[in-house]
Every structure is written in structure tokens, then in C-alpha cells.
Structure 1
């Protein structure tokens, strides 16, 4: 059997471990901590990601645990819609539920190792599924490929109240955005982003929430009610980091998946989806081809799409968080909305 060391037990790492053929690979998943994330967040599963989940045999369970998106809107900061649209087939699922379902799909033959990985394991293949600050990427691709700090902070959380009909979607203000989407069990998932010098490490959630409430005080009353219900115990506050552009995702004996390969701005809502597609694509290729051929094919298949989305997400972030250009942006969006 070929030994595969998967560094990172998040979405991409678990999906890969679930997809690899246990008759061919001896897999060990290395993860820093055993428990699930303490703060719940929600993920949008687009149709391509659902195909990946179907290949792992857990799509029915994800659909049962999640909630379907209904009509969504893009609005200005006051809540006046630029336009409304539908999101047919998109499922919202909590990260904790998805991690649990992926973990249950991992064969019993897969070994688990907990604790920080300081040196890369001795294995036929080392998989970097360890996020934007990937140790595998730095060790194999070099320190020039360290993560890049964006000027933006992101807050995310869940409140118990359901989404008020007609209020779901994104609110684009001047240099700030706010999002509201359905979460499982009738709750609401919210997120906010704006330019900030908080952090980059160890951001105090209470302080970040206070700053966010002050920043959005003149925005839609819906935003105010969501932030009033938000608690620090159910909120994440982080600076946004991105991965540098890479020319390929595989080198001899090492390969990157998910955020380790192409961590992007969150404005397209595609990071988790692309991580799952990476993992299932890589598993299918490793199961059916010799290792060198599989790694080359994986890099060719996934590079153009994921790097294109990385660039597009950065462009979307600049548009959504525009400051001086905000009046022009809003005018153009209103024109686009009237044409629908």
C-alpha cells in the first residue's frame, strides 16, 4: 500500500480521506485538535460541490441537515434592492454538520493523529489540506509562498431567529458589506466585512462586534436587529488572508488542496465548494492512475478554474467594498437592476 499523509482534517482533508481507496492507500489524517469548531458558521453548497458530496455518498444526509436558499437580493446599505434573484439548488449547511458527515464517511482504516505538525511526515504522498497558512505549502513551495494579509476583517455568526422574509441577501454600503442567509434549524447566518487594522491575530470578538455595530448603525434596521442579537460566543472575528498565486498544485511527493492551494476572498462564497471539488477530483485520479500521472492531471484540471475564481473573488471584494467609487457602483447596479 502507498502511504498518504493528509495534513489538515477540515473539509478538504476529510473529503480526500473519505474518497481514497483503502485497498490501495494507507492514509493518516493529521489535525491540530480533535473537537469541532466552537463557533458555528454556514456554508453554501453550489451544484458542483453537491456532485462532489454525492460521489462520497453523503449528499442525501447533507440535504437533510441543511436548508435550501430561497430568493436573495443585492441591496444598498439602507436595504433598497438593486435586484433580486433566485438561488435554485443551493443548499446552506453548517460547517459543523458537514464536518461530522464527512468524518463519518472516512473508512475505519484511516488513522488519525492529533497535534501540531512541525515536520512533514515520511510518506509516499503528503497532502497539504492545512488551510491558508499551509505548512506544506511553505515547506515544499518555499517561504515566498506565505499567506498574504488583506486589509479586511470578517465577522461571521449565527443567531437563533429565522431570516425575516424579503431581507436575505447582501447589503453593500460604503466600504462595508453585510450578508444574511438562512441557516439550519430555522436560524440565521450573518457575516460582515470592512477595511480594518484589527489583529491580524487574536482579535477580541467583543471589541470587533462593538466596532461592527457602530459602523453599521446608519444602515438597514434589519442589520441592526441581527447585530443586536449576535453574541460574542457565537461570532468569529478574523482578518482575511489569501494564498499567493501558484503555477501548479503538485510537486513530487506533495500536493495542495483547498485553501492551501487557492485561499481566496470570501465574496463569491466558493472556498468550501472548491475545496470539496479539489479533494474528490484528487481522490478519483489517485484511485485510477499511477501517482505521478494523477498529480499532474489534478494540477491541470484544478489550476485554471480555482485560480480564475481567486482572481474573480478579489475583483468582487473590491467592488463590494468600494469606498470612493461607491456612488458610481450603486448607480451602475441600479441601472442593471432596472434592466431585469
Structure 2
């Protein structure tokens, strides 16, 4: 039995523990939270994540619990659409539901240690950093230069009662801010991001909600209606942090997953998805290959792709949250929207 210490019991840690062969690995999850969270926003499951969930045996349960994201639009703050977007049947599931289902897939043989990890466990086996953007494991193994970096933006989000109108679904791009509205299991998922001095370490949710309402007071009635329903007990607020680029996710007996490896801005909606793919990829390799070979193959499979996504997400964030050249940006989006609409119209016209 090979010893595996997973630091972090979130999406990355639970998914990996669910994949690892209990006949081969002696697994312990170290998690500081006493219980799974009950508040969280909706995560869109892209094809790679859906494949990973299928390998975990959870895809059908996710589909049953989640909401299908069919279509939406990039919108002006007024709500006027600039560019129509097709969801392609993406499935959205709340973070608490995803964590609950992943937790149910973890074998009973896996031990749970409820404590905060300040130092790496003894080097008797594999140590997995699944402890998020502020990863203790990454800093210990890669040094202080790998510490998380704050962005100028905060993220405020939640799920409120009531389904959104199809005319309101999408992202509202303003001058240096965005606001998203989408259907969610049991209500409407919303998220806001803008420059703020709140935090950076801990952001008071009630204060953040008040600041958010003031910031978006000139946006559409749909945005203001969602914010009117938001309360601190069903909302989250935090500074957006990112991890610096890494050329590899394995070093000695230490390996990183998810945000500990490649924390990115949320603008592409791929963070949780790539975390699931990381976990299933690493676990599947460890199940059939010696550790060193499995870690090499994991690096080959995941580093380049996730670092590209990290960069692309950052670039998208700069465009979406631009404070200058915003009229030019919106004009280009409208032109693209007209082109896409024209092509769709021609495609639907019978010959």
C-alpha cells in the first residue's frame, strides 16, 4: 500500500481520492473545514469535465441535479445584447452539490483528518497539493516566489430564488466591471466582478453586497432585481487571486492539482472543470504506472494546456474588465454579433 496524503478536501482532493485504487493506495485527506460548504455559485461543466465526471460515475447525478445552460448574450449594462451566445447544452451545477456528490464517491477506506496543515507531511509517500490558490504545499515545495498574487478585482456571487428570464441571461460588460446572470438549480446564479479596495485577505459579505449594489445601481433592472434578492447568508465575496506560472506540477514526491497548480481568473469558467480533469488524469495514471512515471505523464498531459488556459483567462479578463477603449470593444462585439446572426439566418434559410 502506497501512502498518499491529499492536502485539501475540495473539488480537487475529493475527486482524486475517489479515483485512486483503494487496493493500492492508503489515502488520507487533510481538510481544515469541519464540513462541506452549503453556499456556492453554479459551475458550468465543459466537455472535459463531463468526461471526468463520467469516469467518476457521477455524470448522470450531476445532470439530474443541475441546470442546462442553453443560450445567453454578452450585454451592455442596460441589458441590450451585443453578441448572442449558444450554451451548447452546458450543464451548470452548484459547488455545494458538486462537492456533496464527489464526497459520496470517496471510498470508505479513505481517512479524513480535520485540521489546518501548516507544513508538509513526512516524506513517506506522495503528497498532493489540492489546497487552492493559497497552497501551503506549493509554497513549501516551490518556494516563496510561487505565492498567490492578488488582482485588483473582487468577486461577489450567489444564488437567489426565482428562475431568470431568457431575455436577462448572460454577462453584462460595463466599464471595468462585469455582471453575470444564469439559471441554476433552485434559482438564479449571479456573479459580479469589479475593482475594489475591500479585503484583500477577508472580505465582509454584507459590506461587499452593499458596495456591489451601489456599483451596479445604473445597470439594467434585471441586474438590480437580482441584487435586491441577495443576502449575506446566500452570497460569497472574496478578492480574486491567481497563481504564478509553473513549468511543472510535480517535484520529488509532491504534486499539485487544480488552483494550487494553475489558479486563474474566472473569466473562462474553466477553473473547476480543469481541476476535475487534473484529478482524474493523475489518479488514473497513478493506478497503472509507477509513481515517477505517472507524475511525468501527468505533467505532459496537463501543464501546457492549463497554463494556456490560465493565460487566456487573464487576457479575457482584461478585455471584459477594460476601463479604457470600452466603446471600441463594444463596437467590435456588436459587429461580430451581427455577423454571427447573419450567418445563422442564412444557415436556417432553405435552399
- TM-score bin, normalised by smaller chain: over 0.9
Q: Which secondary structure state, in structure 2, belongs to the residue aligned with residue 339 of structure 1?
A: helix
> Deviations for 1:143-177, whole angstroms, at most 9, x for unmatched residues?
11000000001101110111112211100001110
Alignment correspondent of 1:254: 254
Alignment correspondent of 1:65: 65
Aligned positions of 1:196-235 closer than 5 A: 196-235=196-235
Q: Which runs of 5+ in 2 are unaligned?
A: 341-351
Q: Assess if the C-alpha contact under 8 Å between 1:73 and 1:84 holds in 2.
A: yes
Alignment correspondent of 2:144: 143
Alpha-carbon separation, structure 1, partners of 2:97 and 2:204: 26
TM-score (normalizing by structure 1) = 0.98
Alpha-carbon separation, structure 2, partners of 1:201 and 1:33: 17
Q: Which secondary structure state, in structure 2, belongs to the residue aligned with residue 212 of structure 1?
A: helix
Alignment correspondent of 1:7: 7
Alignment correspondent of 2:130: 129
Alpha-carbon separation, structure 1, partners of 2:235 and 2:293: 43
Q: Which secondary structure state, in structure 1, belongs to the residue aligned with residue 89 of structure 2?
A: coil
In the comparison of the two structures, how many residue pairs are matched? 339
Q: Which runs of 5+ in 1 are unaligned?
A: none
Q: Which secondary structure state, in structure 2, belongs to the residue aligned with residue 278 of structure 1?
A: helix
Q: Assess if the C-alpha contact under 8 Å between 1:46 and 1:89 holds in 2.
A: no
TM-score (normalizing by structure 2) = 0.95
Q: Assess if the C-alpha contact under 8 Å between 1:47 and 1:89 holds in 2.
A: no
Q: Assess if the C-alpha contact under 8 Å between 2:72 and 2:166 holds in 1.
A: no
Alpha-carbon separation, structure 2, partners of 1:7 and 1:100: 18
Alignment correspondent of 1:314: 314
Aligned positions of 1:163-182 closer than 5 A: 163-182=164-183
Alpha-carbon separation, structure 2, partners of 1:102 and 1:38: 14
Alignment correspondent of 2:339: 339
Alpha-carbon separation, structure 1, partners of 2:241 and 2:166: 33
Alpha-carbon separation, structure 2, partners of 1:113 and 1:204: 28
Out of 264-273 and 67-76, give the one that drifted further. 67-76
Out of 213-222 and 261-270, give the one that drifted further. 213-222
Alpha-carbon separation, structure 1, partners of 2:257 and 2:244: 14
Q: Assess if the C-alpha contact under 8 Å between 2:138 and 2:146 holds in 1.
A: yes
Alignment correspondent of 2:25: 25
Alignment correspondent of 2:348: none
Alignment correspondent of 2:303: 303
Out of 37-46 and 188-197, give the one that drifted further. 37-46
Q: Which secondary structure state, in structure 1, belongs to the residue aligned with residue 199 of structure 2?
A: coil
Alpha-carbon separation, structure 1, partners of 2:129 and 2:178: 32
Alpha-carbon separation, structure 1, partners of 2:208 and 2:283: 40
Q: What value does the CA root-mean-square deviation take over the aligned residues?
A: 0.9
Q: Assess if the C-alpha contact under 8 Å between 1:265 and 1:310 holds in 2.
A: yes
1:89 CA drift (Å)? 2.9
Alignment correspondent of 1:106: 106
1:202 CA drift (Å)? 2.2
Alpha-carbon separation, structure 2, partners of 1:230 and 1:240: 20
1:36 and 2:17 equivalent? no
1:36 CA drift (Å)? 1.7
1:67 CA drift (Å)? 1.0
Alpha-carbon separation, structure 1, partners of 2:220 and 2:32: 40
Alignment correspondent of 1:159: 160
Alpha-carbon separation, structure 1, partners of 2:194 and 2:273: 24
Out of 157-166 and 137-146, give the one that drifted further. 157-166
